[in-house]
Chain A
Amino acid sequence: MLITNIPLEFYLVLSAILFVIGAVGVLTRRNAIIIFMSIEIMLNSVNLTFVSFSIYFGDTLGQLFVFFVMAIAAAEAAIGLAIVLALYRLKQTVFVDEVNLLKW
């Protein structure tokens, strides 16, 4: 059986770095579409952690969880991009700091 001889920590640290890059994107960008892509990066880094722990413990459940996370991400992308479209029709902008309809 072919198995990787890379330590588990390498995968965990890589996924932490990717999560931080995604979080920086969410916190600093103002374009709603790029914020969505940053959220996808964060979800992907968590998936990498799930898969590496699944292989480490020899359990299928981690990969099933990745399957569910992917389904949730697909639903979230569909709804979120529909919201961006509706927002662009209403305000002619995709910048999240120009949308202050609920701010008094």
Chain B
Amino acid sequence: MNISYFFFIILSVLAVASAIVTISTKHPIRSAIALVVHFFMLAGLYLTLNAQFVAVMQILVYAGAIMVLVVFVIMLLNLSKDQSFEKKITFNNFGGIVLAGTFGLAVIYAFINLHPEPTSFPSHNLNFTTVQVIGRSLFTNYIVQFEAIGLLLTAAIIGAVLLAKRKLM
């Protein structure tokens, strides 16, 4: 039992628990708080994988930008007490749980049988996770995709403004 197992187990248990809280609480704002915890736990898991750039991006984009949007919309909607609470979970929801559980069991079975014994990460050079290498690859080999992402984000901003505006003119 060494230190990385300790970190992995704590982070993964907290990630699963906060995800369950996110989908099971009644009020949306509690889900939002639990989701922030979930994002931070995933950032910690990326750090155990030595992916520092992705961990920082996770906190900046998800816990920063997206959660501010979600909390802002919850505030703007100003849901009254009876509207923000849902009715009891019906029997129809049982089908959804069974469907997702079956899919999950199939995927977990496939993952576990990937190799006969557990595969450890090969100890090659970790230079490829630095921001320098990722940035160089982003601006040379994948420049078209990068520009397309910029175009898509611009279109998304214009679309969001148009959709949320009360009157267009």
When C-beta atoms are compared, the residue in chain A nearest to B153 turns out to be: A75
Chain B 24-41: CB-based contact to A (< 8 A → 1; otherwise 0)? 000010011001001100
Q: Is A48 touching B45 in the complex (CB atoms < 8 A)?
A: yes
Say yes or no: is B10 at the interface (Cβ < 8 Å to chain A): no
Specify which of B5, B16, B46, B89 is in contact with A51 (CB 8 Å cutoff): B46
**In contact, A51 and B160 (Cβ under 8 angstroms):** no
Q: Which of B62, B70, B133 contacts A44 (CB 8 A)?
A: B62
Known: A14-B15, A21-B20. A4 touches B73 (CB 8 A): no
Question: Binding site of B, secondary structure by majority: helix, strand, loop or mixed?
Answer: helix
Q: Are B2 and A58 in contact (CB under 8 A)?
A: no
Residues on B with C-beta less than 8 A from A25 are 22-23
A102, CB-defined interface residue at 8 Å = no
Fill in one digit per residue for A42-57: 1 if any B CB lies within 8 Å of its CB, else 0.
0010011001101110
> Are A30 and B86 in contact (CB-based, < 8 A)?
yes
Q: Is A99 an interface residue (CB 8 A)?
A: no
Q: Please judge, given known A-B contacts A37-B32, A40-B35, A86-B164, whether A63 and B77 are in contact too, CB under 8 Å.
A: no
Contact in complex: A58, B35 (CB < 8 Å): no
User: Which of A16, A73, A95 gathers the greatest number of chain B CB atoms within 10 Å?
Assistant: A16
Is B97 within 8 A of A24, CB to CB?
Answer: yes
Residues on B with C-beta less than 8 A from A82 are: 159-161, 163-164
Residues in B whose Cβ lies below 8 Å from that of A13? 108, 111-112
> Judging by beta carbons under 8 Å apart, are A38 and B128 in contact?
no
Chain A residues with CB below 8 A from B22, complex form: 25, 34, 37-38, 41
Which single member of A21, A27, A40 contacts B66 (CB below 8 Å)?
A: A40
Chain A to chain B contacts (Cβ below 8 Å), 25 pairs: A1-B125, A1-B126, A6-B48, A6-B121, A8-B120, A10-B118, A16-B107, A23-B104, A27-B93, A27-B97, A33-B28, A34-B23, A37-B23, A47-B54, A55-B126, A63-B54, A63-B134, A64-B134, A64-B142, A71-B149, A75-B155, A79-B156, A79-B159, A82-B164, A93-B83
Q: Which residues of A contact B (CB under 8 A)?
A: 1-14, 16-25, 27-31, 33-34, 36-38, 40-41, 44, 47-48, 51-52, 54-56, 58-61, 63-64, 66-68, 70-79, 81-86, 88-89, 93-95
Which 9 residue pairs of A and B lie closest in terms of their CB atoms, listed nearest first? A27-B96, A25-B23, A20-B104, A7-B118, A75-B156, A82-B163, A23-B100, A82-B160, A28-B93
